[in-house]
């Protein structure tokens, strides 16, 4: 009986340790991307403190973004194109807020759940807020709003 209990304890310990390792390795890329993007943005701008990180997979490019404050305590958003490091920085006072876009999605679509709001570009000249959501029918969807104006651009639904 003692051998069986010892065997089960070893088995469960192995399963728990394996699960923890799997979790750590699966989340490592996002932590590395955040760290590298933060360092890159801080090296090339006057952004001092980073609050948020966004990973946006656009139709043509992948963008990493960070938001935070500069030395003047101005809240800014920096969007970096991964393929070449091209970056555009926006002052939050000059763009639509995430909260406004969130409210707009709630009013327009009444989704059952909003998963995430990310910043990126849908093409080389159009910065957007992308909102991923679950509609009332349980279908995944994406809502795109112009980053600067908050104006609706398109909705992709029934995914």
Consecutive sets of 10 residues in the chain, 159 residues long: mean pLDDT of each?
69 64 61 78 85 87 90 90 90 92 93 93 90 92 94 85
Distance (Å, whole) CA 44 – CA 125? 21
The domain made up of 1-91 has a fold known as Nuclear Transport Factor 2; Chain: A, (3.10.450)
Distance (Å, whole) CA 140 – CA 159? 5
> Quick one: DSSP state of residue 139?
-
Residue 147: phi and psi, rounded to 5, are -60, -40
Is residue 100 within a helix (H) or strand (E), and if so which, with residue range?
Answer: helix 98-109
Q: Which residues lie closer than 8 Å to 59 by C-beta, 6 or more apart? A: 122, 123
Closest by Cα among 122, 71, 57, 66 to 89: 66
pLDDT computed for residue 18 by the predictor: 62
Give the residue extent of every domain in the chain. Answer: 1-91, 98-156
Distance (Å, whole) CA 33 – CA 94? 26
Q: Which two tokens stand for residue 115?
A: 């998963």
pLDDT computed for residue 6 by the predictor: 67
pTM above 0.85, yes or no: no
pLDDT computed for residue 124 by the predictor: 82
pLDDT computed for residue 60 by the predictor: 84
Structurally, what CATH architecture does the domain formed by 98-156 represent? Roll (3.10)
Distance (Å, whole) CA 104 – CA 118? 15
In a 3-state reduction of DSSP, which class is residue 84? coil
Intrachain domains 1-91 and 98-156 with the same fold: yes
């Amino acid at each position: 009986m003692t051998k069986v209990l010892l065997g089960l304890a070893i088995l469960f310990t192995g399963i728990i340790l394996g699960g923890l390792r799997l979790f750590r390795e699966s989340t490592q890329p996002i932590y590395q991307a955040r760290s590298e993007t933060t360092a890159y943005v801080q090296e090339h701008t006057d952004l001092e403190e980073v609050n948020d990180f966004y990973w946006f997979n656009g139709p043509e490019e992948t963008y990493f973004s960070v938001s935070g404050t500069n030395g003047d305590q101005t809240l800014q958003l920096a969007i970096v194109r991964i393929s070449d490091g091209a970056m555009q920085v926006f002052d939050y006072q000059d763009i639509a807020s995430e909260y406004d876009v969130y409210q707009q999605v709630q009013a327009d679509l009444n989704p059952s759940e909003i998963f995430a709001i990310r910043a990126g570009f849908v093409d080389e000249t159009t910065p957007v807020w992308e909102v991923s959501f679950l509609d009332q029918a349980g279908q995944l969807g994406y809502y795109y709003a112009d980053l600067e104006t908050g104006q609706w651009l398109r909705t992709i639904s029934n995914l």
